[in-house]
């Protein structure tokens, strides 16, 4: 039997969801509890863009470190930049590191509140020392899971940026172009793919979550819009989209 932090996994009944003692999951989820669970498990990836804004905007402004574009300013034959100034190595590092720490947080919440809090489950359920990412104990494993989810988000985000520039939709100064679906679906799909491929033995990568992932994809543009409005309100973004 796999363990959670070296303790046997016992059957747990939570609102609208039942976890069996061993993988694969035997999930009975409502329309809302499934996507909410996925959103919680993949929160490090979903918030990696916010961490990227901190790493690519606030930290350079405070430290004087000049942001370095990932594409190095290069253009393709269509005359447009490969990715643009909005995709920097500073932001990539901020996203990956920030997602790692956020996964440590969700692991801590899930470990202490797995029964009472329903959807707030530990993303490392069923993971253990035999898994490739179990480096530095449970907290090191949580950090590694988060960093790869953040990397998945950044790969998808960069893919969306690449597509927009091939379509002629490019950043104008500090304002990015409005492309709700291209701005959201690639990063979400790549984040989910990273979790499913790299962490199949942990809850975060269990294939029984594919259907609620699909429903969350439908809701992702709305979630993205809400987070961008919040980012604009607190001064992280120049525009609310």
What pLDDT does 229 receive? Answer: 64
Mean pLDDT for 88-104 is: 93
Q: Among the listed ranges 6-10, 53-57, 197-201, which one has the minimum average pLDDT value?
A: 6-10
Range in 42-56, 162-176, 179-193 the model is least confident about: 162-176
Q: Is residue 239 part of a domain?
A: no
pLDDT tens for each residue of 68-94: 888 888 899 888 888 888 888 988 998
Answer whether residue 221 is part of any domain: yes
Which of 5-9, 117-121, 198-202 is least confident? Answer: 5-9
Token output for 74: 């290069």
Residue 218 counted as domain residue: yes
Model confidence at 12, in pLDDT bands (50, 70, 90)? very low
Domains contained in the chain, number: 1
Tell me, yes or no, whether 33 lies in a domain: no
**Could you tell me if residue 17 is inside a domain?**
no
Mean pLDDT score, 218-227: 75
Q: Tell me the pairing of strands 3-4 and 12-14.
A: unpaired
Q: Is the pLDDT of residue 192 over 50?
A: yes
Q: In a 3-state reduction of DSSP, which class is residue 39?
A: helix
The rounded Cα 110 to chain-centroid distance in angstroms is 17
Could you read off the pLDDT of 23-69 as tens digits, one per residue?
Answer: 444 445 566 788 899 999 999 999 998 888 777 677 766 777 778 88
Q: 159 exposed, middle or buried (CB, 10 Å; 0-12, 13-18, 19+)? A: middle
The answer to whether residue 133 is domain-embedded is: yes
Q: Residue 145 falls within a domain, yes or no? A: yes
Q: Specify the pLDDT at position 214.
A: 92
Structural domain includes residue 227: yes
Say what percent of the chain tops pLDDT 90: 35
| Bond from prior residue into 24 cis (ω within 30 degrees of 0) | yes
Task: Quote the domain boundaries for residue 65.
Answer: 40-234
Task: Give pTM, 2 decimals.
Answer: 0.78
Most confident of 19-28, 81-90, 101-110, 179-188: 101-110
More confident residue, 21 or 119: 119
* CA separation for the pair 58, 72 (Å, rounded): 21
Q: What is the pLDDT of residue 191?
A: 96
User: Is residue 114 pLDDT above 90, yes or no?
Assistant: no
């Amino acid at each position: 039997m796999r363990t959670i932090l070296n303790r046997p996994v016992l059957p747990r009944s939570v609102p609208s969801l039942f976890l069996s003692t061993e993988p694969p999951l035997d999930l009975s989820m409502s329309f809302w509890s499934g996507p909410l669970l996925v959103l919680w498990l993949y929160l490090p990836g979903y918030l990696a863009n916010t961490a990227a804004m901190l790493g690519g905007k606030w930290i350079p402004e405070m430290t004087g470190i000049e942001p370095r574009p990932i594409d190095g300013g290069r253009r393709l034959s269509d005359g447009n930049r490969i990715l643009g100034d909005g995709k920097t190595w500073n932001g990539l590092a901020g996203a990956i590191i920030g997602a790692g720490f956020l996964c440590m947080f969700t692991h801590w919440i899930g470990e202490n509140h797995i029964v009472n809090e329903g959807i707030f489950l530990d993303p490392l359920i069923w993971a253990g020392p035999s898994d490739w990412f179990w480096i530095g104990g449970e907290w090191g494993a949580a950090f590694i899971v988060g960093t790869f989810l953040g990397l998945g988000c950044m790969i998808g985000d960069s893919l969306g940026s690449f597509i927009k520039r091939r379509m002629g939709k490019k950043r104008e100064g500090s304002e990015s172009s409005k492309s709700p679906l291209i701005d959201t679906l690639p990063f979400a799909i790549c984040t989910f793919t990273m979790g499913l491929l790299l962490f199949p033995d942990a809850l975060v990568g269990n294939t029984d979550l594919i259907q609620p992932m699909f429903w969350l994809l439908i809701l992702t543009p709305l979630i993205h819009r809400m987070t961008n409005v919040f980012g604009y309100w607190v001064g992280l973004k120049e525009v609310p989209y």
